[in-house]
Amino acid sequence: MINGYLRPDGRKGIRNIVAVVYLVECAHHVSREIQIPYRDQGVHVIGFPGCFPNDYSQRMLQKLCTHPNVGAVLLVSLGCEGFNRHTLYETIEKSGRPVRLIGIQAAGGTKTTIAEGRKWVEEQLEALKSTPRAEIKPHELIVGTICGGSDATSGLTANPAMGRAFDYLVADGGAAIFEETGELIGLEQVMMDRAATPELAGEILSCMQKTAKYYDTLGHASFAPGNADGGLTTIEEKSLGAYAKSGQAAISGLIKPGDEPPTGGLYLLDVIPDGEVRFGFPNISDNAEIAELIACGSHVILFATGRGSVVGSALAPVIKVCANPHTYRRMSEDMDVNAGRILEGTASVDEVGREIYDLIKRVAGGEQTKSEEMGHQEFILTYKSFEPIGPSCLPTAQTAA
């Protein structure tokens, strides 16, 4: 049984985190100092570094601060940044979570703010011990997936195995989110053929046309030197591997960062900004994509890697699925699942997929991932711009209504 945490808004989380949130880079150090004594007690630091307001970053932090894994939130402001801290505060307060806003300038500086922040965090850690518990059924889980540090084995072992785990989750009524649209170029028609409705297929095509234009304007693809060193040769080859992690279920919807799946099923997350190319790299690191998946409600993140990535994340556990058996033997301390056994012929895609799905449920029930055990809490949030999705993007929601 998965014994989760029941929030006042009715949602259920698998962790009970106090989030310390900096609202500008100038408040980052103070926020980290507040967190340090409690980093092993479920206190995580997230935030936005920019001085100037941005609708995307505002929406992201509102979604992240009210994520079901978050039990209480401390907002740390310098005092002169452009971030709309009052709207963020009100959003958190309306969700029923304890929230406190501290302004460094108003509080009197660094030391005073750290002392005040630590006192509040200690109070919340004690209060969260009495958070009501509630059973979480598999159909209530949302799981996101990403691949990073990919090599030629990623698309042969880890990604297909994670796709099979997604098939099991969707069959149980859960929601699965795959993304990295910049690494799905060339697979437009394949994804359109899996769309739940013709209208959704059209939305997927538009999404991918935007993606191709974005990268063409930038003059590069989502392809790194490390991918080539690992044996990948083209973005099309990398795309086939990235696509494999979507499994075989019909695609139920197309969402954007901060949109939560309205029902169970498989969802494609569009991570490429709308409008003219203004923001450079759509996702400057794997953790930017992880943050977007969490903002969509993901309780857990699956992360496939062939060359070996060590990142975890704030707010939601990251399960590392290692594609390359040699990498697994060299970096086993960072890896949760050895999908390289598929390559060596000692396990099937079905067997590793089942192993991953069983681990998802155990992690949801409280078992720590390797990245959690080692204290990985990476987080990054930058500027982007998105238009709202239309009803044709969520045909399952229309049917359910």
Q: What's the pLDDT score for residue 51? A: 93
Q: What's the pLDDT score for residue 46? A: 98
- Tens of pLDDT along the chain (401 residues) come to 899 999 999 999 999 999 999 999 999 999 999 999 999 999 999 999 999 989 999 999 999 999 999 999 999 999 999 999 999 999 999 999 999 999 999 999 999 999 999 999 999 999 999 999 999 999 999 999 998 877 878 888 999 999 999 999 999 999 999 998 888 988 899 999 999 999 999 999 999 999 999 988 988 766 556 565 556 556 566 667 788 999 999 999 999 999 999 999 999 999 999 999 988 888 888 999 999 999 999 999 999 998 899 999 999 999 999 999 999 999 999 999 999 999 999 999 999 999 999 999 999 999 999 999 999 999 999 999 999 999 999 997 755 55
Superfamily name with CATH number, domain 2-134: Response regulator (3.40.50.2300)
Span 250-273, pLDDT tens digits: 999 999 999 999 999 999 999 999
CA distance 8 to 3: 16
Q: What's the pLDDT score for residue 211? A: 92
Q: How far is CA 257 from the centre of its chain?
A: 9
SS (H, E, C) the chain: CEEEEECCCCCEECCCEEEEEECCHHHHHHHHHHHHHHHHHCEEEEECCCCCCCHHHHHHHHHHHCCCCEEEEEEEECCCCCCCHHHHHHHHHHCCCCEEEEEHHHHCCHHHHHHHHHHHHHHHHHHHHHCCEEEECHHHCEEEEEECCCCCCCCCCHHHHHHHHHHHHHHCCCEEEECCHHHCCCCHHHHHHHECCHHHHHHHHHHHHHHHHHHHHHCCCCCCHHHHHCCCCCHHHHHHHHHHCCCCCCEEEEECCCCCCCCCEEEEECCCCCCCCCCCCCCCCHHHHHHHHHHCCCCEEEEEECCCCCCCCCCCCEEEEECCHHHHHHCHHHCCEECCHHHHCCCCHHHHHHHHHHHHHHHHCCCCCHHHHCCCCCCCCCCCCCCCCCHHHCHHHHHHC
Contacts of 310 (CB under 8 A, 6+ apart): 331, 334, 371, 376
| pTM (two decimals) | 0.95
Domain boundaries, the chain: 2-134, 138-373
Residues facing 13 on adjacent strands: 5
Could you tell me if 138 and 174 are in contact, meaning their C-beta atoms sit under 8 angstroms apart?
yes
Least Cα distance to 65 among 101, 30, 29 occurs for 101
